Every structure is written in C-alpha cells, then in structure tokens.
Structure 1
Amino acid sequence: MERLKVTLEDEYSAVEASIHVGRYALALPFAAGRRVLDIACGEGYGSWLMAQAGAASVRGIDVADDAVARARATFSDPRISFDTGQGETLAETFPEASFDLVVSIETIEHVQDPVRFLEAIRRVAAPDAIIILTCPNDHWYYPPHESNPYHLRKFTLPEFQALTRGVLGDAVQWMIGSAALGFAAVPLAADPDGPADGLPRIVHVETMEASLRVPSSAVAPAPETCSYFVGVWNAPGRVAGAGAVHALSMDAYAAMMAAYPQGAAAAPAPSADASPKERVLGAALQRENEIMAARIREYADQEAELRDRIRECAEQEADLRARLDALTHERDALTHERDDLLPAALRWRGMVERVRRLSPTTAKLAAGWLRRRGPDQGH
C-alpha cells in the first residue's frame, strides 16, 4: 500500500498499521524535546505519534494536498502543523538548522533529484540533528524489469548507502527492516471495540515495557531479502532497533504455522526468468525443506537406534527367561529329592528316639547297629 488512509471511515488493518507505524517507531525515542520535520508525512499519523512522544514541535510536509488536508482534519494539535511541499525544496521552505530530528520514511525513491533532496535535508537540519531515512527494497518486491509505478528508481542497499553517505556523512548506523514473528504479553483488554477519542486506531499504540529480539533462524532477513533499508545519522548511542506488533490468537498462529510447511514442501523450483522475489522465496522454502529433511533423517536415525535397543532388550529378556526356567527346573528337582528323602529321615529320627529310651547298654549296642545299617536300611 503506497499511502495508508487513516480516517475513521476507512477499514482498519492491523498488518498495514504495523508496517507503517513500525517505520516511525524508530524515531519515537528521539522525539522528546526536539523540533521535528516529518518529510512525506502522508495523512499525519507519524507526526502525531512523534508529538505524543514529547516533541517540542512537528512540521509535516507532503506533496499531496488531499493527504495534508486529511492530516489537518484528523490530527489537530497546537504542536503540529501540516503543509504541502516538495522534498527537494525544503531549504526554500525552512531556515537553516531549523530541526533537531528529521524523519523521511521512504521518500527518496519518489524524488526527481535525490542528491538535491539530501542536500536540502542537510541544510534544514541542525549540525547535531538526528536524521532517519528509510528506503524500500524494491528489488525484492518487483522483477528486474518492473518497478513500483509510484517510484522513480529502485535502490540496493549499497546504492542507498553510497548516495546518502556522500551527502549526510559517515556518522550513521545501518539497519534493515522486515517482518517479524514472535510472542508478546499484552493487557487483557488491549484491543477495545473502537476508539473513544475520535482518532483512528492506527495511533492507539502503547509502548511495551520490554521487547527482546532473539537470534533469527535460517530464514533471517538479509539486505537482499528485507523489506526496507534504514540509515540513522548522529544517534547519541547504539540504535538497537524498533518496530510495531499486533497480537494474534493462537488459532490464527497455529493455522499459519501449519500452512507454511505445506507450502514449502509443495513449492516448485523458480524458473530461470523468475523475479528476485520469487527466487528469494524459492530459496527460503528450499532452506525450510532442507531443515525438515534433516529433521526427518534425525528422527529416522533415532527410530533405528530405538529399534536396535528394543531388539537387545528382547534378547536379554529371552536369556533371563531361559535362566529362570533352568532355576525353576533345578528348584523342582531339589523339591522332589527332598520329598523322597523326607520319609526315611523321619523313620531314622524315630528309631533314634526309641534307642534313647533303652538302657545304656542296649542303647550302645543299638546305636552301633544303626551306624552300621545307615538311615536308608532302617525299618
């Protein structure tokens, strides 16, 4: 979407809101107390957000009269003013060193003379002003011989870097912008049914207490596969990044995650005349296929190992059963032997008791006779 409409009558899209507000999120921490210039302000939502972040003043300019009119009608605030103007003629509109923060969200691809545009930014910016420029990665969105009909040129990251550094200098931090996926905790009533203050939902934003960026997986964005490029000049410290997110139900998340591997598995190889976007998507899907194939091989190896262990356990069980059978047979044999010997032993004990009751002389003779006979010959 080239220009986002943000009136109360227009349908709200959380995806489009995060795309557009995410660009401005990078500027909000620097807005407090500064004089801000918002170049190509569109319908004014970014200017409003920077004013709410504490800007001393915000001047929004745009080439479209209708966008400026809607910005004035929707975002009326004594700190904000909106005017129609060209980026290349900023120096004719504002005095030198008028701004402490200059924000240009994807404007450079529209202007007739990018160098003149950047020189105008340099003149209206204070010597230590923070300058934030973004540029779309149209090489991802369009095939080599096609382009956005609203853009006058397509930039690669090296081209964007060389052009802007040549005018604005080397005190810059480079970033890339892209889609993000993750999880966040949001208040239970984070999304009311509708705005109560008469403002479009796109500016109903909340600063999250903490957001952490974890390392990306095999499909992490790169300059060739990102959505846009960012340069931040004269920032007082390291810029860690910023963005805008919208909460998603787990039902929708599960459906999205379930559909993606199916698309990756079924995706055909890109043809030779495929666009860079198609080739990048094909490469990303191929990487996902490789990851899934590696996992399948890993699971197959684990299954084979488990089957081997099951066979070993079965063999050990058979050996233990054989040993148990042998011990049982030995126990039964000993039991039979005991049962055979028990009557003779009882008879022997009885004879011994009777001998004890005889006179000593007779007992001595009987004992000798019993010793000679043994227990098995007694009656």
Structure 2
Amino acid sequence: MLSDRLADLVHEYQRVERDLSNPDVLTDPARLLSLSRRHSELGRIVSLHDERERLSRARLENLELLTDPEMSELAASDLHTVEARLRDVEAELEVLLLPSDPHDASGAILELRAGAGGDEAALFAADLLRMYGRYAENANLKVTVLDAHESDLGGLKSLVAEVTGEYAFRAFKFERGVHRVQRVPATEAQGRIHTSTVTVAVLAEVEDAEVELDASEVRIDVFRSQGAGGQGVNTTDSAVRAAYRVGTPEEIIVVCQESRSQIKNREKALAILRARLAERARIAREASERAIRQAQVGTGERSEKIRTYNYPQDRVTDHRLAGDDKNFPLARVMAGELAPIVDALLRAERERMLVELASGEATGESSPRGR
C-alpha cells in the first residue's frame, strides 16, 4: 500500500516538474505558485522514496552476503544500520503521506471576541493580538486588522484581521477555540485572581469558485468608517457591511473598513463571508464524520477550551496536549513564541491520524480526511 501511494506521488512529481518547465506556466503567476508549492511538498517525499529504494537494495545485498563466511560479519553490521535507517525512512513517509488540509497553504482570517470577564477579557484580547502579531512576524507572515471594536480601557471587544503569507492558515489553525486567562487585573484593588475568556476563530481564505454566493442572499450596505471613540477616519462612505440571509438562523454579518476604497472593502468582506461559509460546512462535515466513526476527533469549534494562560504560575497550558508536553513558559509565549506549541500540536495530530489510518485499513474503511 505504501509503495502504491509512493509510485503515484512520484509520477505526480514528474508531471509537476514538466509543467514547471512549460513556458505557458511561467506567464500564469497563480498556476506557477500552485505548482511550485506542490513541487516543494512532493520533493521531500520523492527524496525519501529514492532513499527507501536504495536502502531496500542494500538490505537484500547484505542478506545475500550473510552466507559468505568472509563477508558475513561485515554484512551483519551493515544490515543492522541499513534496517534501522529503513524503519526511520518508512515511518517518516507514513507521516508525510497522511491526508493534509487542502487549505494549509492559504491565507487566514483571524477573529477575536472578548468573552466572560468584561473589561479584563477585552484587555486580554488585545494581549493576544500583540502575541499573534509577534508570532506572525517570526514566521514571515503579516497581520492586517480589517475591523475592530475597542473597549473604554483600550482592550478589544472584537476584531477581524487577515493573515497573509506562505502557509498562514497552517500556522494559525490550531488557535481556534476558547482561550482562558487567569491573572490579577490592573483594576483589581484587592489582588484577587480573575478568570476571563477570549474566543478565537481562524478561517481559511477560500477561492471564489470554492463557495458560491447567490447575490440575492447577500445585502451590501456602505457607511462611513469609524475609528476609536467614534471619530471618523474617513470622510466618504467606504466601509462595507455584507449581510448573508438576513433574519434567518443562517444569518452572517461581516464588516470591513480597513481600506479607504469601498471596492476593496467590499471584496474583502465577501472573502470573509465565503471563509465563514466554508468553515460552517467544515464543522458540519466533521460532525457527520464523527457520528459515522463514533469517535471524537476534536473539531476546534469555538465552544472548546483549548488553552489556559496562568499568570500567577507563569505558564501556558494547552489542554489538547498531555503530560509535561502541555505546559509552556508564559512570558515566551506572550512574546510570540508559539512555534513550540504549534509543532507539538502538529505531532499530536499526525499521531492521531496514523492511529485512525491503521484502524481504517484494518477494518477496510477509507483513510481519514485531512484537516
């Protein structure tokens, strides 16, 4: 089974290489970018495939030499080394061949909303935004605020931002869920620890063709952009509100006022609307798949508490991890060092998918869908 999947990917890699040398592709930036990404993804797999083939041949040669009295000792030693490396290569290939999220390379829409805790929750939302900005900078990504509502103390009641750059969605997708903070607020005179929450949603930006929007179901309103404190930041009606299926249980409202251009704000508002619709479909699909498998896989929905930021104990605990692997130094995390958490979550996800894949193959079921 591994060999069959590898052969298919090697053939795909060869096709991608041929396409990249096609002059027509060089004049199509979107296709060139897509092919280049796929070439990079497949390159590591093909390299390991070639090494696997070489090691397999070396293993057979050493097995034959074991019958030669003069070469048996050397062959046995080399065989041990070859088989150990072969196991490592095949284990890495199993991980790389797991189903992947088709949107990993996409941009992301980041939404923060203050939850329980009032002003303290809003202040922590602002702290999270700074943390995400530093994390993005470290990962060569960019965070652009599209819409924000501040609290009286300078916190954030809600915020919508765009994250752009290579693999932005993969870098942020594990942030979706409820973030809980335990600390003494600056406004607390008696030094009592308060618990507050902030909800984070992370949506993958989708292509227009992926989600069809019926113009009759979307109402577009324009209004004058507003800054903090109600002061106008624009003298024209450039801000855009896109309302989907108004008055129904499926209603979605998106506001964008980042640009002074009404056209650009309209395009961005519709892009966010498509991303929210795609996320809604993803959650419904995963709920259906869980019911079929009768197993909880964790959807990252907003109702899930994913992480606690404990200031008195100077640690961050990610509740999706186990043992000592779930705790991280708070100061470093708030400084934007989220990569260790993301890497640990990626490893945990791959291990879970390997278990599901093995279980599915044992029962004759199809492979799990990548997230």
Which range, TM-score by smaller chain?
A: under 0.3
Name the one with the larger strand percent.
Answer: 2
TM-score using structure 2 length:
0.23
Larger Rg: 1
